[in-house]
Amino acid sequence: MASKPKYNNTVCDPSFAAQVRERSGVEIERCYQCMTCTLGCDANFAMDVAPNQIVRLTQIGMKEAVLTSSSIWVCTSCEACVTRCPNEINIPHLMDCLHQIALEEETPVKEPAVPVFHRAFMAPVRQFGRQFEVLMTGLFILKARKFSLRDMLTNAKLGFGMFTRGKLKFGPHRIKGTKAMNDIFQKTLGGRGT
């Protein structure tokens, strides 16, 4: 027997709009559906719910439909929508707020490789204070399980090309203020890992 889905897209959470509004400060209520955001969105082709629909669904409290969409993960934060929105609605910031809620509430993630990448990116930063690309990429490959032959070949080719051009660091640069960095992560993320 199929297990009951944890989320049901028809369920409405009337407090959701206020939750998003309060947390992000984004004035979602100002949207009148002109669709300027969607028409100029370079990533819209890969989204299951268009940016203007994300705003509308958030306004009316369709929390699960929004949080389980692919759109919130494939937005590239290119800032075109907010630049062009006649009502100055900061959709990239809304998207940030939506991923953060989805991750905190452990909603099923439609595009799991995306948050895996962002966490892999932050791991060396937390530890050393600067990015260490070899570690970041390694963590990403392991955690996103990018083990296909195609992935391996691409990574080997790129890695070799970067190595021969002196673009790969083999050790991390550890800043002096690693304690300060750790404090920053502790005070902001608390128990939540990177």
Partner 1 sequence: MKYAFYPGCTQESTAIEFGRSSEEVCRRLGIELEEIPDWNCCGASSGHFLDDDLAHALTARNLALAEGQGLDTAIVCAACYLRLRCTQIKARESADFKKKMAEVIGMPYEATRTVRHLLDIIVNDLGIEEVTKKIVKPLTGLRLAPYYGCYLVRPPEIVGFDDPENPLSMDRLLTALGAEALDWAGKVDCCGGSLILSKEEIAMKLLGEVIEDAREVDAEAIVVACPMCHANLDMRQSGKNRLPILYFTELIGLALDIEESSTWFKKHMVDAIPLLRKHGLI
Give the largest Cα separation in the chain, rounded.
Answer: 57
Q: Which of residues 60-79 bind partner 1 (CB under 8 A)?
A: 73-74, 76-79
- Report DSSP letters for 123-166, one per residue: HHHHHHSS--HHHHHHHHHHHHT--SHHHHHHHHHHHHHHHHTT
The answer to whether 9 and 62 have CB atoms below 8 angstroms apart is: yes
Query: Of 35, 39, 135, 184, which lies in the binding site for partner 1, with binding defined by CB under 8 A?
Result: 184
Query: Of 39, 50, 135, 144, which lies in the binding site for partner 1, with binding defined by CB under 8 A?
Result: 144
The answer to whether 100 and 189 have CB atoms below 8 angstroms apart is: no
* Residue 152 C-beta: closest distance to partner 1, Å: 13
Distance CA 46, CA 13 (A): 26
165 binds partner 1 (CB under 8 A): yes
161 binds partner 1 (CB under 8 A): yes
130 binds partner 1 (CB under 8 A): yes
Buried b (16+ CB within 10 A) or exposed e, 177-186: eeeebeeebe
Task: Please report, as ranges, the residues that interact with partner 1 according to CB under 8 A.
Answer: 42-43, 45-46, 73-74, 76-80, 82-83, 90, 96, 99-100, 103, 111, 113-119, 121-122, 124-125, 129-131, 133, 137, 140, 144, 158, 161-162, 165-169, 173, 175-177, 180-181, 183-185, 187-189, 192, 194
